[in-house]
Structure 1
């Protein structure tokens, strides 16, 4: 039996050695295969990145608010496609899409999402003479705006990404325009960013110490981002470009600006308890809406923001209703409300 055991042990040792050699060979083969896959994946990503970079920036822009000085309102110089509809998701799962065409304008699902319901938004004291204080203030209000509109877009089933923020203290250039800008603040769809000068807006608003004025300015420009993310801006620009004269193009622009006023009012109304905002702040807000409207004696080619009465009307409607549905300036029975 010992002989049998001796021969059996040698045979087992031989099989073990052979198995180890085979295992090492398999590991080398597996490593080579993995290496090839990594190289192929890297080449694919490099090719995709190059293709995206060669596409160039979008030029979809909406300029900032006017103060009666005739701030330039550049249209969309080149038609662009809006941000691609839908989002990355799991295989087999339906992807949300942005509304398109006339539906995005007049029957947007965002209009049916009810009152805004943001988290509490207590804001710090604002020292308008301190650019750092203004920047902190703007970021905090922007955080509240991100929260409020993310919730509404989720309810509507529309993909949403918060805008980028550029609160400038030094000159720079956006894909839409250079800054400082005569507007003091503007939204650029090409970079999905809100641009505000932390000192420029204080100077433009004559040193006003009412924080609601600056919160409203930010919320107004954020309203243009809401328009873009909801699919509305793409159709707006397409239709605006079809107009043959300033009067026709300005009629479209006024509706866009009045809607942004209303969306700003809706947000501020929704946070007025936690901000807090009182009747005095509402009065300051409405006075600002009137002051930043078109001049009554201004030429037709500069009438881009609506009359003082209409600017106030839509801002108050947003404040009281606190919903995007109250801000449908594209489907109103009384055309005088968008003049």
Structure 2
């Protein structure tokens, strides 16, 4: 990626070395607790006695166009906001090599600069998209941590992977995750790393337009299988939103030969089916909550090729 020398976000907080606080939050098999979203087969939107998320995102866009506040209206529909049950939204994401030495300097400084630049690019892209609807995009904060961290969603360890906490509208990433993805998953490259961050920012967009609050409301009356199916749709939409971001940075000349393939390889390596095969040797589709390798790759490509958030309606798609 041609990222050097570009604007750096001021919304990046380097918490590394601060200890993060508190005890450990156990997260099995590389998946996060709380608001997790693995993959599944082809599913239709899950309805639960109220508006589905597909209806919700369309209504959110209409409200923007009419000059109304979708947050207040959709917040009411979602039963008073997020509640205490919505924890980290986590997807095992991609990775370049990160040399974690004691203290900072060298590669550590370069990685922080890279994250600041990518965060800045997401701010610019989503600023423009929201502005097209006559609205302002509230920027999330990115927290770089090591070991463990305390967020409004509770305590999390580095094993959780990158996650977005809707309770404080912040993204959390332990940079050692990129090393893990590179070594264990074979997903290397700066655009693969950028895709990880763009995916988590995609969850922030979902939080703003009301998708995450509605998901939290609906899941309260669902069984585990239904929650997993709906989780897949939420995660794939975040992949698609990451692709929308990629579309615009590509138009701005950021990408070099091979960059797109890096993101696609990363998406392929972190599909639920690929992770299950790697960790347990067999696949259990009922346990998918982020999407299969094919689905994750397809929805990222859909956003990348179209550059339109309307193309990311996973909730009303005939197939995923």
**Separation in 2, partners of 1:149, 1:316:** 18
Q: Partner of 1:53 in structure 2?
A: none
Match of 2:211 among 227, 232, 254: 232
Alignment of 1:14-29 (within 5 A): none
TM-score (normalised: structure 1): 0.62
Relative contact order: is structure 1 or structure 2 higher (C-alpha 8 Å, sep ≥ 6)? 2
Query: In the superposition, relative to structure 1, how do residues 303 and 209 fare at CA in structure 2: closer, same or farther (>3 Å)?
Result: closer
Q: State yes or no: 1:271 paired with 2:249.
A: yes
Unpaired stretches in structure 1, ≥5 consecutive residues: 1-65, 77-98, 114-125
**Separation in 1, partners of 2:64, 2:228:** 27
1:253 to partner: Cα distance: 0.3
Match of 2:310 among 325, 331, 335: 325
Q: Partner of 1:128 in structure 2?
A: 98
Alignment of 1:44-193 (within 5 A): 69=29, 71-75=31-35, 103-109=55-61, 128-129=98-99, 130-169=107-146, 171-193=148-170
**Separation in 2, partners of 1:100, 1:314:** 20
Q: State yes or no: 1:220 paired with 2:190.
A: no
Between structure 1 and structure 2, the one with the greater Rg is: 1
**Separation in 2, partners of 1:285, 1:277:** 11
Tell me, yes or no, if the aligned pair for 1:270 and 1:322 is still in contact at 8 Å: yes
**Separation in 1, partners of 2:97, 2:110:** 6
CA shift digits 1:217-242 (9 cap, x unpaired): 00000000000111221112111222
3-state SS in 1 of match to 2:250: coil
Q: CA RMSD in A?
A: 3.0
CA shift digits 1:265-299 (9 cap, x unpaired): 11112111445214511111111111111116432
**Separation in 1, partners of 2:133, 2:283:** 39
Q: Which moved more, 1:165-174 or 1:258-267?
A: 165-174
Match of 2:182 among 205, 213, 216: 205
Q: State yes or no: 1:262 paired with 2:222.
A: no
Tell me, yes or no, if the aligned pair for 2:271 and 2:291 is still in contact at 8 Å: yes
Query: In the superposition, relative to structure 1, how do residues 302 and 134 fare at CA in structure 2: closer, same or farther (>3 Å)?
Result: farther
Unpaired stretches in structure 2, ≥5 consecutive residues: 1-26, 37-50, 66-95, 100-106, 275-281
3-state SS in 1 of match to 2:143: strand
3-state SS in 2 of match to 1:205: helix
**Separation in 2, partners of 1:137, 1:331:** 36
**Separation in 1, partners of 2:157, 2:112:** 16
1:151 to partner: Cα distance: 1.9
**Separation in 2, partners of 1:234, 1:240:** 10
1:208 to partner: Cα distance: 5.4
Q: Partner of 1:248 in structure 2?
A: 226
